[in-house]
Structure 1
Amino acid sequence: MTATVLGTARGPLLRRGPRPLLMHLMLAMLKSSSSVTASLNSSAGWPGWSGAAAERARVIAAAAREAAGGRPEAFPQAVVMEALQQDRELVAGIAAYRRHPWRRELPDPPVLWTEGETRLLDFGRGRGRGGPTLLLVPSLVNRAYILDLAPGRSMARFLADAGVRVLLLDWGWPGEVERSFTLTDYIAGRLSRALQAACAQPRSSRVVLGGYCMGGLLAVAAAQGLPRYVAGLALLATPWDFHADDPDRAHTLARLAPLLEPAMAIGGALPVDLLQVLFALLDPWGIASKYRGFARLPQDSERARQFVALEDWLNDGVPLAAPVARECLQGWYGANAPAAGTWRVAGLPVMPGRLDLPCFVAVPARDRIVPPESARPLAALIPGAVLHQPQAGHIGMAAGSGAEAALWRPLLEWLRGLPGRA
């Protein structure tokens, strides 16, 4: 392994991520120290282990001793060496990422409409076969450019080149006004006005709303509130039943809400680093694993550049207005309000079953952020919805190396099949 891959090469630090760095390093330290400590007690099992867990530990320790000629210290030594190697690779991966020269250089398309910090970006229509106008609605907590990540990694530009009129809603950084917003303000206010601005364009009297992740929930509510402007819905990795996969974890996130109040009181929003902590709770060891993998990649490879592009986006988060954070944590995760039928926007319950329009529901099978069990109910609730289940992850489906086959082309064909397309 070269010095550059190990992260020992000198060079300026160009990034701050992965955010929050201290948390990821502490998680790695916790995993290493607990593994080493447990290995020292492997012959009898760790106090509190179940009988099955203790038995597995004894089997592993016995196999290690046998492989080392019966030496009792073999297993703890092997664990120590593996822990040290994993920690070295993690640090190497982080150092390589922070020094990588790749930069996103795609220029923004023209701005069609603005309000406050929000912009509606117009990718136009290419020369391909025609399709309707598609208004893409991203999450409130991530930058919109995940749908326009890089050359060859832009769903927005792919669809525009194929003849679809593509508009991308960029929520922007929440300013003083937006930090007082509720979900109703975002949906019945800003999103609805962006939708009307899109429909005021020539040949766009109705548009398809395409919601990604949290944006899909916003799109469902907006479509119900302004059905005369909506020709269809595309819901991409959109959660609905927040208790379907792991209700205990959902309740744990909801119980964290009061602990976040002091941080939200300072600036009227849930800070980016705290949002990153909440996302990390979904997969505590995942960050370390992927950075160790990055350390092994040739740093001038396309895979390395793609990793950096996605990580830059992940670390370029957006604060969440405090009222919205409370609604999401307590209402969505705690009370499971969408699936329970108690989520209200502008006083009206959001009921997908009442929608009477074409719908495409993409549920990536390997999604760890929005488990498939959480997203699939939308396809069952909306009459006639098309369920698409690619073998992809939450982000890979939208912007990964296999995104064109996993999502872009199937979505394009569905758009082309809509009645009365522009």
Structure 2
Amino acid sequence: MTEPRKTAFNSFLKDFAENVGKFHKGADVLAGIRDEDVDVGTTPKTLVMRRDKVKLFRYEPTVKRTVETPVLIVYSLVGRYTIADLQPDRSLVRSLLAEGVDVWLIEWGKPGRAERCLTMDDYVDDYIDEAVHRICRETGHDKVTLLGICQGGVFATCYAALHPEKVKNLVLTITPIDFHADIDDPAPDYCLLNIWTRSLTPEDIDRMVDALGVIPGEFMSSIFSLMTPMKSLTKYNVELFDNAGDKDRLMNFLRMEKWLADRPDHPGAAGRQWLKELYQENRLVEGRFELSGRIVHLRAIDMPVLNIFALNDHIIPPACSKALGGKIGSTDYTEIPLPSGHVGVLVSSKSQGKLPKSIVEWLRPRDG
């Protein structure tokens, strides 16, 4: 009986020694990395327009253009656009450029208390509209393709409904449309954000916005962390420890952490609409959501629509995205489910190639 125990203990000591060695090596690697070394959003681009804190960029082409209609990426106010250009080998932007797409992007900047009165009306009917006008002027096209991601997909959907004459194609990725479609979902663990948001009282939302002027980025980060508590608890010991000995993997980890830590504040008035009128009252899918004095009628969306969602999305359940199909006026509607999570659909190694390839293969026959 003593020999097996001795063997097991020796094995433990060997593993322990190897792990300690790996830790010291990883610590040396980590000590040599500076903040500027963890670079995100590095694909070359040109600033074309700036209004307030909002910027419009055009990315520099890398190959001959094969999709002529300019594509405007509209990202969320809840996070930074850099998740679409995290690093060279995990970049939706670079992949689209490599397929010959004319890529533009609207960046919201970092809103603060000075932007507390900005509403979704301002973002959709002012900033996006001005960006579309500028793109058309610069390129000679009379329409653009909108590529909306997450909350940015809701903005793009609203714009396409209110200004269909300016949108050639609408591409949505991980975008909520029916904010209550998850209520009868048999897997409620994928709907915790929706459940929590619907549980807030309107008065609580008003108190936070009235007091702070914004919904703090740190507050939203804590909510997302609580949705995956075990991962949040272990990533700085288990995951970081596992990656520490491999600099490439460590840099992948650090870039994602830099993006997560760079969560901007959300303008208060727009946040009120987002939480109360959409998450709680579900006005968009019910035809009761109003921007700039006009109802956003989904039936007015008459251009081709591509709707991409993640099957393992714990932030935007697939049912909330799929609801769009039966609500629009277009007969050219395509759904593509991807076996990924919410953020993974953009940056996971398994998703690289699938998302941009799906978009470009869908766009090309509709580019004429």
1:368 and 1:394 in contact (8 A); partners too? yes
Secondary structure at the residue paired with 1:370?
coil
Residues 290, 378 of structure 1: CA spacing in aligned structure 2 closer, same or farther, 3 A cutoff?
farther
Q: Which residue in 2 is equivalent to 1:332?
A: 278
CA distance, structure 2, for counterparts of residue 4 and residue 192 of structure 1: 56
Displacement of 1:246 in angstroms is: 4.0
Residues 258-277 of structure 1: pairs in structure 2 closer than 5 A: 258-259=203-204, 261-277=206-222
Q: Which residue in 2 is equivalent to 1:87? A: none
Q: How does 1:60-209 map to 2 (within 5 A)?
A: 103-104=38-39, 106=42, 109-131=45-67, 132-175=69-112, 177-209=114-146
Identity %: 27
The equivalent position to 1:306 in structure 2, one of 252, 255, 259, is 252
Choose 328-337 or 104-113, whichever is displaced more.
104-113
Q: Answer yes or no: is the 8 Å Cα contact 2:113–2:212 preserved in 1.
A: no
The answer to whether the aligner puts 1:363 opposite 2:321 as a matched pair is no
Of residues 302-311 and 268-277 in structure 1, the stretch that sits farther from structure 2 once superposed is: 302-311
* Residue 331 of structure 1: how far off its partner (Å): 1.6
Contact 2:25/2:245, CA 8 A, preserved across alignment? no
Which structure would you say has the larger Rg? 1
Which sits farther off after the overlay, 167-176 or 379-388?
A: 379-388
- Label 1:9 to 1:170 Cα distance change in 2 as closer, same or farther (>3 A): same
Give 1:352 deviation, angstroms. Answer: 2.2
- From 239, 247, 252, the equivalent of 2:196 is 252
Alpha-carbon separation, structure 2, partners of 1:12 and 1:5: 11
Query: Which position in structure 2 is the counterpart of 1:240?
Result: 177
How many residues align? The count is 338
Q: Name the SS of the counterpart of 2:168 in structure 1.
A: strand
Q: 2:12 corresponds to which residue?
A: none
1:260·1:270 contact (CA, 8 Å) conserved in 2? no
Q: Which residue of 2 aligns with 1:390?
A: 338
> 2:239 pairs with 293, 297, 301, which one?
293
Unaligned runs of 5+ in 1: 15-97
Conserved? CA contact 1:214–1:238, under 8 Å: yes
CA change 1:225–1:7 in 2 (3 A) is farther
Q: Does 1:399 align with 2:347?
A: yes
What is the one-letter code of the residue matched to 2:224?
F
SS of match in other structure, 2:232: helix
Query: Alpha-carbon deviation of 1:405?
Result: 2.8
Q: Name the SS of the counterpart of 1:140 in structure 2.
A: coil
Contact 2:43 2:88 in 1 (8 A): no
Q: Distance in 2 between matches of 1:322 and 1:359?
A: 30
Root-mean-square deviation (CA), in Å?
A: 2.9
TM-score (ref. length: structure 1): 0.73
| Structure 2 stretches lacking a partner, 5+ long | 1-17, 185-190
Residue 217 of structure 1: how far off its partner (Å): 0.4
Name the structure with the higher strand share: 2
Measure how far apart 1:321 and its partner are. 0.9
- 1:8-19 to 2 correspondence within 5 Å? none
Q: What does 1:42-53 align with in structure 2 at a 5 Å threshold? A: none
Post-superposition offset of 1:136: 0.2
Structure 1, 299-308 or 2-11: larger mean CA deviation = 2-11
Distance 1:367 1:165 in 2: 29
Q: CA deviation at 1:129?
A: 4.7
- Shift in alpha-carbon separation, 1:149–1:252, aligned structure 2, 3 A: closer
User: What's the secondary structure of 2:360's corresponding residue?
Assistant: helix
